[in-house]
Amino acid sequence: MKIKILGHYTTKVGELWDKGLEDLLHEAIEGSLKNSDVNPDKIEAVYVANKASGQLNSQLHLNALASEYFEHYPPAMRVEGACASGGLAMIAAEQALLAGHYQTVLVVGVEKMTDISVAQTTEALSLAADQIRENGSTFPALYALLAEAHMKKYGTTREQLSATAVKNHAFAVNNPLAQYRKEISIELVNESAVIASPLRLFDCSPISDGASAVVLTSKEVKNKPEIAGFGHAQDSLDLAGRKSLTSLAATIKAGKQAYSRAGVQPGDIQAAEVHDCFTIAEILAIEDLGWFKKGEGGKATLEGETGKDGKIIINSSGGLKAFGHPIGATGVKQIAFLANKLEKGVFNLVLAHNLGGSGATAVVHILKNS
């Protein structure tokens, strides 16, 4: 059984003061139905990805809110796995299709983050209540530890981190949905405020509102992008429980699974959207997914190997860094963006990489033109 992407839609990503959680959710659902040319009553189930609407919007049970869009109230469930919620919801939907329970389902990811203060949002996102964990550590602090380890072990430089942000901002200029459509310079990143040393302001993805939806089908359809394979792996939530701080074991494992299920090699992939919540995260990802040797991701980025004329095109949407990071939507909008590139024939084989909790959850999808 093959799973195809019938259609997709992503809202504008950014600080969307005039839109609420439900507005974004329903806009993405409606947009993906129109783009798929599917009648709403053909949707047999809905999968909702969201991380923190309980804390951010005082609203849980988003599956009911999503189902309410439809007159026939299709069965719906919400899936959460921190910033990997989107990737996990995709998997839940794919497994329901493969189980034969449904033939056409909709996956929608949403996060409305700007309804509360940045301080409250930061607190909500960095949940790790258990004393033995990174208590009080925010995500920038955790990724700063990873960056420091990588710099120390492999000589990754400030310029290489900065080059990642510069590349992704340059890509976002061409993405009308992106939060930051503005080129930046290496100097600007180098001189921006320190958030958690060595990470600076422009190393960090923003706080974003947004939603994205895709319609999946197991029916035989032609000229639609196909889900060629997926991988899903976990690692210790606590950095102290990791075997290495210079690679993410969950990414490596999820990547291998996805390559194996899709029957392709890393070198076959033409373009990828990877989870660059921080610049160092993109460098880790392009090494851990097999495109560059461990320790050489920063150098490759600085030399343009992941840019528009590079060996592999990374985050041509602008990535989390510049397209934006509306958390629950992120893993879905990666798929939606890549599906569009496949449809247009820009690429034929691509990969999406979605992370949760500084690498405790990793989801990899490989998509192809079939």
By CB under 8 A, name the binding residues for its own copies. Answer: 20-22, 51-52, 54-55, 57-61, 63-65, 67-68, 73-82, 88, 91-92, 94-101, 124, 127-130, 232-238, 241, 250, 356-357, 360-361
User: Rounded distance, CA 206 to CA 179, Å?
Assistant: 8
**268: which DSSP letter?**
G
| Positions marked catalytic | 83, 325
C-beta of 263: minimal distance to its own copies in Å? 16
| Shortest Å distance, C-beta 228 to its own copies | 15
**What Cα–Cα distance (Å) separates residue 121 from each residue in 52, 115, 126, 131, 327?**
9, 9, 9, 20, 12
One DSSP character per residue, 281-319 reads HHHHHHHHTTSS-TT-HHHHHHTTTTSTTSSSEE-TT-H
Residue 315, Ramachandran bin (φ over 0: left; ψ between -120 and 50: alpha; else beta): left
* Beta strand 194-196 pairing with 199-200: antiparallel
3 Cβ contact partners less than 8 Å away, ≥ 6 residues apart: 94, 97, 98, 216, 217, 218, 226, 227
Nearer to its own copies, 134 or 296 (CB): 134
Q: How far is the CB of 240 from its own copies (least distance, A)?
A: 12
| Minimum separation from the CB atom of position 41 to its own copies (A) | 14
**80 versus 305: smaller Cβ distance to its own copies:** 80
Nearest to its own copies of 64, 118 (CB atom) = 64
For residue 237, the SS3 value is coil
Measured between alpha carbons, how far is 141 from 137 in angstroms, rounded to an integer? Answer: 6
User: Toward its own copies, which CB reaches closer, 194 or 240?
Assistant: 240
> For residue 210, what is the enclosing H or E element?
strand 210-217
Shorter beta-carbon distance to its own copies: residue 154 or 259: 259
